[in-house]
Amino acid sequence: MNKNIFIACDTKSTKKVSKIIKETKTNKINIGYKFGIEFFYSKSGRQFLNKIKKNKLIFLDLKLNDIPNTCASGVRALGDLKNIKYLTVHVNGGYEMLRAVKKSAKKINSKLKILGVTVLTSLSNRNLREIGHTKSIEKLVTKQAKLAKLSGLDGIVCSGQEIKVIKKICKKMEIVTPGIRLDGDKAQDQKRIMTPKKAFDSGATSIVIGRSITKGNIKKNIQRLIKSIK
């Protein structure tokens, strides 16, 4: 599998996204772009996604999580977005929901890959206890990975701390790791972070990095990223 680096375009500004795409252009690493709910829900976001060239690697991070029929209908509603390569769904939605999403995805785009989101990188073991979980993050993610595999998903989204455990379960699936920071950058609202090189060395097939690239001088940050993984 190619090692992809998705730049998180966490903004509602199409002007800023255009700048991010322009200033992260490089042939030294495989760059893609991740769009979450902030951009997708914005007035011009969806229209902008349809205008992005089809040779760009686009990751739509909607983290679907509802009853099976609602999620399946939501996926069908994305049928006009032909350049989307990845779409996320929360694994905790259950087997039936995951299967419904995967089935709908096949109907609208046979090349669309569905990634199962496990425990968010902003959560700690303490946060899980507050929610009501009794398992540790590692044990919960392990169980979620098994369910994602059983459901026929194409990949897993997990923090760097769980990559090695997930790799043993999901040997042929993609492992996408968010919560990535360049050396020396602040964790901010993330609890479980990792550097790009360590994530790839641990077995991630793709990583998602946002503020370490998009804050400040984007071109210089991209060069820092390239140096960090060489």
Positions marked catalytic: 63
The residue assigned the tokens 């602040």 is 186
Is 205 strand, coil or helix? coil
Q: Are 178 and 199 in contact (CB under 8 A)?
A: no
Handedness of CA 169, 175, 181, 183 (dihedral sign): positive
Chain CA centroid to CA 37, Å: 12
d(CA 153, CA 185) in angstroms, rounded, equals 33
d(CA 152, CA 227) in angstroms, rounded, equals 36
Q: Are 3 and 200 in contact (CB under 8 A)?
A: yes
Beta strands in the chain (DSSP E): 4-8, 30-35, 57-64, 84-90, 113-117, 155-157, 174-180, 206-209
